[in-house]
Chain A
Amino acid sequence: MSGHPSWDVVVAGAGNAALCAACAARQEGARVLVLEKAPRELRGGNTRFTTGAMRFAYSSPEGVLALIPDLSPGERANVEVQPYGQDEFYNDLMRVTEGLADPDLSQLLVAESYPVIRWMTELGVRWELGAFQRAVQSGHRARFHAMIQSKGAGPGLSDQEFGIAEGLGVEIWYDAKLVGLVQDPASGRVVGVRVRRPDGISTLGAGAIVLGTGGFEANRELRVRYMGPKWDEVKVRGSRFDTGEGLMMALELGAQSIGQWSGAHSTPIAAESPDHGSLRLTDLTRRASYVYGLMVNEDAERFADEGEDFWPYTYAKMGSVVQGQPHRAAFQIFDQKGLPWIERAYYATSTPAEGDTIAELAEKLGLDPAKLSRTVDEFNRSIDPGAQANPWIRDGLATRGLEPAKSNWATRIDQPPYVGYPVTGGITFTFGGVKIDRRARVIDTEELPIAGLYAAGELTGGFFHFNYPGASGLTRGSVTGRIAGANAAREALGKPPWTS
């Protein structure tokens, strides 16, 4: 567009997906501008609120260890890398999304998961073995399975990515909100953006645009519009800035909506959590250790299978279940057998209620003592007294004749003092989004790409339905971001499309 300052590629958003896009575009030689709506101190979108973990498929232990060059030889010798091939990742995706995940996008995600982490490593992102892996320390061997974690968790990943982008020469504007996409009236191509900054609104030209503006989880009106009244009141686990404007702009240009628009990643979180993610707490408010105890609602009744699967495969849908309980409230109850297994975040950010009897615990949690005692008795009666759970495997230790069942790790709640944590639902990111193709071009309702428009990260639909396998959100962001950035740059510079 003549008469306006212009860039080859403008990236809207500054989370993991957007910054991967910016770096990939810069590597192709494009002049890249990133528009971050938030002020500098709140930058980074939802990425800062994650654990910084990424799920990926690998074919060899060497391939995994190559990602962590700063492991000492001693550490290296003590890591047991358990296999996690592409088909296992794919099977996990299909299983937890109830078979609804888009096959093309799933194949792309799975196939590109290792290459993109390699690429990030080459760019300078540093990883560690991960604090929340399913089997972290068993005896003296650290077990590695399926996910790698960024140094410094989510804030660390975000800081590293900003540093890398700046080092590559990406220009980043803070307090710069995308308020419009500019289309060429004749061709329909997206040729620029309108940006609101503290000093006013301006128009910028762009060879191609990447939308990396996230979902609409922090927008109450859109939540209720697409997901229903259950989501009017909900705590937002991440960025307050993920309000869906970028997604709405794409829809307005005719982008095709795909995926589960009524669904979101949502987890149980501490009842006392702030309304939006806090940079001090990040994801420490997550309460996903219900697998080692039981969960009741305000009526002191159980309402979910706490042991359906390892928590990384159920936590992202459990928030929605909690959200559906009276007053969006639930209580996680542990005895001294389960307590050693719960995540450290529980201790770090909450003071639990404690009681030497279930009735006393109920009293402190504000529950009916007789009702809670009855629920716990029924639960205990459905389990063999001496049962010992094995948290490292799906041990099949299940309740008998109880509705709902607890399918794994069911042991009696019988060793006082008993401990209870009040929780509520927290929303992480929405699942509905725009359709993209294998080049991350935004596809319209006639199945044609919208020229000049790419999308990456949480506003892309079709990847997740009802649930997702833990730690695949950042992977989706990096995979789509890298592809979107590289292709946007190549389109802007008149080069052939990029395929890995």
Chain B
Amino acid sequence: MDVLVCVQAVTHEPPRLVAGDGAPRFERRGRSVLNESDAYAVDTAVFFARRTGGRTTAVTVGPLAAQEVLYLALAKGANEALRVDAAAEPPLEVARALAAVVRRGRYDLVLTGVESSEALASAVGPALAGFLDWPFASAVQSIGVGVHDDHASVMRETGGGGRQQLSLALPAVLCVQSGIGRLSYPPAVRVLQARRQAIQSLAAAELGLEIAAVAPRATEAFAPRRDRDVELLEGSPAEIAVALCERIARARGLA
């Protein structure tokens, strides 16, 4: 069973709000790390590919900096890695690029994480399934599939702590939930070995795509507004206790 796992690089530090010329925007900063639920997707992909004698290919859409997460995927056991050299947004364009990658190969299963910890859009997986017209499940918590199976048995999470058991015809797209299995932490030496491998990149044009820069334009971006004040009380514990009681009494209209 050959598995394609789609991963995304997110940044280690939260994006910073930048008010430059024009519309304010969030600036990504810090090093690229593998998005959490995608890390689970990689481990799941490697598990099924190995168990069924198949291969795992990891793919990401993003600039050169995104290549770092492919090294981790290789260290986790992916056999091949591929980068589509294009912007990592908007999600529909990413999904279009991934669909083109899927069509170039022969995959029995496409896995990805349920959401990017940066955008929280949960859009790429469903859109990819839509472009491919493949069966799809999200928030997948467990997968059962054998070598000769033409269906995968999938358990997914639903609202209110519920579970849903599905049987999906293969090939299918599955978005896995964080915690689907135990996360592997490859030894540092494996990561270094992976970093020595050349990673193939494909331009959007090589995939027959014209990735349009149709990202929605931000009209405003802001940090959460503060509607309460924080006051730091200073002094000895006894003074702080007295001051605190006064504040509580004032707030309750007692003083």
Distance, CA A479 to CA B68, complexed state (A): 22
Distance, CA A86 to CA B201, complexed state (A): 10
A-B contact pairs, 15 of them (CB 8 A): A86-B64, A87-B67, A87-B85, A88-B198, A90-B67, A91-B198, A98-B192, A98-B196, A99-B191, A99-B192, A99-B193, A100-B195, A103-B68, A110-B64, A111-B64
Q: Is B31 an interface residue (CB 8 A)?
A: yes
Distance, CA A103 to CA B66, complexed state (A): 10
Closest chain B residue to A88, Cβ basis:
B198
With A87-B83, A87-B85 known as contacts, the answer to whether A99 contacts B194 (CB < 8 A) is yes
Cβ-neighbour of B65 out of A95, A100, A107 (below 8 A): A107
On whether the beta carbons of B64 and A90 are closer than 8 Å, the reply is yes
Question: Cβ of B221: which chain A residues have Cβ within 8 Å of it?
Answer: none
Give chain A nearest CB distance to B204 CB in angstroms.
Answer: 13
Question: Cβ of A90: which chain B residues have Cβ within 8 Å of it?
Answer: 64, 67
With a 10 A CB-CB cut-off, give which of A85, A98, A100, A103 has the most chain B CB atoms: A103
Question: Cβ of B194: which chain A residues have Cβ within 8 Å of it?
Answer: 99
Q: Is B199 an interface residue (CB 8 A)?
A: yes
Interface of chain A, main secondary structure = helix
Q: Is A300 an interface residue (CB 8 A)?
A: no
On whether the beta carbons of B192 and A91 are closer than 8 Å, the reply is no
On whether the beta carbons of A104 and B85 are closer than 8 Å, the reply is no
Which A positions have Cβ atoms within 8 angstroms of B? 85-88, 90-91, 94-95, 98-100, 103-104, 107, 110-111
Which B positions have Cβ atoms within 8 angstroms of A? 31-32, 64-65, 67-68, 71, 83, 85, 191-199, 201
Distance, CA A111 to CA B85, complexed state (A): 13
On whether the beta carbons of B196 and A95 are closer than 8 Å, the reply is yes
Distance, CA A98 to CA B197, complexed state (A): 10
Question: Cβ of B198: which chain A residues have Cβ within 8 Å of it?
Answer: 88, 91, 95
On whether the beta carbons of B31 and A104 are closer than 8 Å, the reply is yes
On whether the beta carbons of A103 and B196 are closer than 8 Å, the reply is no
Give chain A nearest CB distance to B60 CB in angstroms.
Answer: 12
Question: Cβ of B201: which chain A residues have Cβ within 8 Å of it?
Answer: 85, 87
Closest chain A residue to B194, Cβ basis:
A99
Question: Cβ of A107: which chain B residues have Cβ within 8 Å of it?
Answer: 64-65
Beyond A85-B201, A104-B31, 12 additional contacts (C-beta under 8 Å) are A87-B67, A95-B197, A99-B191, A99-B193, A99-B196, A100-B192, A103-B31, A103-B32, A107-B64, A107-B65, A110-B64, A111-B64
Nearest 4 pairs between A and B by C-beta?
A99-B195, A99-B192, A91-B198, A87-B201
On whether the beta carbons of A87 and B193 are closer than 8 Å, the reply is no
Question: Cβ of B67: which chain A residues have Cβ within 8 Å of it?
Answer: 87, 90
Distance, CA A99 to CA B197, complexed state (A): 9
Give chain B nearest CB distance to A49 CB in angstroms.
Answer: 30
Distance, CA A88 to CA B196, complexed state (A): 12
With a 10 A CB-CB cut-off, give which of B31, B83, B198 has the most chain A CB atoms: B198
With a 10 A CB-CB cut-off, give which of B64, B191, B192, B198 has the most chain A CB atoms: B64
With A103-B31, A104-B31 known as contacts, the answer to whether A87 contacts B195 (CB < 8 A) is no
On whether the beta carbons of A91 and B199 are closer than 8 Å, the reply is yes
Give chain B nearest CB distance to A307 CB in angstroms.
Answer: 18
Give chain A nearest CB distance to B205 CB in angstroms.
Answer: 11
On whether the beta carbons of A94 and B195 are closer than 8 Å, the reply is yes
Closest chain B residue to A106, Cβ basis:
B64
Question: Cβ of B191: which chain A residues have Cβ within 8 Å of it?
Answer: 99
Closest chain B residue to A86, Cβ basis:
B64
Question: Cβ of B68: which chain A residues have Cβ within 8 Å of it?
Answer: 103
Question: Cβ of B31: which chain A residues have Cβ within 8 Å of it?
Answer: 103-104
On whether the beta carbons of A87 and B196 are closer than 8 Å, the reply is no
Distance, CA A103 to CA B11, complexed state (A): 13
Distance, CA A88 to CA B200, complexed state (A): 8
Question: Cβ of B195: which chain A residues have Cβ within 8 Å of it?
Answer: 94, 99-100
Question: Cβ of A99: which chain B residues have Cβ within 8 Å of it?
Answer: 71, 191-196
Cβ-neighbour of B199 out of A87, A98, A110 (below 8 A): A87
Question: Cβ of B71: which chain A residues have Cβ within 8 Å of it?
Answer: 99
Distance, CA A114 to CA B56, complexed state (A): 35
On whether the beta carbons of A87 and B192 are closer than 8 Å, the reply is no
With a 10 A CB-CB cut-off, give which of B31, B195, B201 has the most chain A CB atoms: B195
Give chain A nearest CB distance to B18 CB in angstroms.
Answer: 12
Give chain A nearest CB distance to B119 CB in angstroms.
Answer: 22
Distance, CA A103 to CA B85, complexed state (A): 17
Give chain B nearest CB distance to A314 CB in angstroms.
Answer: 14
Give chain B nearest CB distance to A351 CB in angstroms.
Answer: 40
Question: Cβ of B196: which chain A residues have Cβ within 8 Å of it?
Answer: 94-95, 98-99
Distance, CA A44 to CA B195, complexed state (A): 35
Question: Cβ of A95: which chain B residues have Cβ within 8 Å of it?
Answer: 196-198
On whether the beta carbons of A103 and B83 are closer than 8 Å, the reply is no
With a 10 A CB-CB cut-off, give which of A85, A98, A99, A110 has the most chain B CB atoms: A99
Question: Cβ of A88: which chain B residues have Cβ within 8 Å of it?
Answer: 198
Distance, CA A103 to CA B197, complexed state (A): 14
Give chain A nearest CB distance to B56 CB in angstroms.
Answer: 20
Distance, CA A85 to CA B85, complexed state (A): 11
Distance, CA A450 to CA B248, complexed state (A): 46
Distance, CA A104 to CA B67, complexed state (A): 12
Distance, CA A86 to CA B203, complexed state (A): 12
Closest chain B residue to A496, Cβ basis:
B20
Question: Cβ of B83: which chain A residues have Cβ within 8 Å of it?
Answer: 87
Question: Cβ of A100: which chain B residues have Cβ within 8 Å of it?
Answer: 192, 195
Closest chain A residue to B198, Cβ basis:
A91
Distance, CA A101 to CA B68, complexed state (A): 12
Distance, CA A345 to CA B68, complexed state (A): 40
Give chain A nearest CB distance to B45 CB in angstroms.
Answer: 23
Give chain A nearest CB distance to B207 CB in angstroms.
Answer: 15
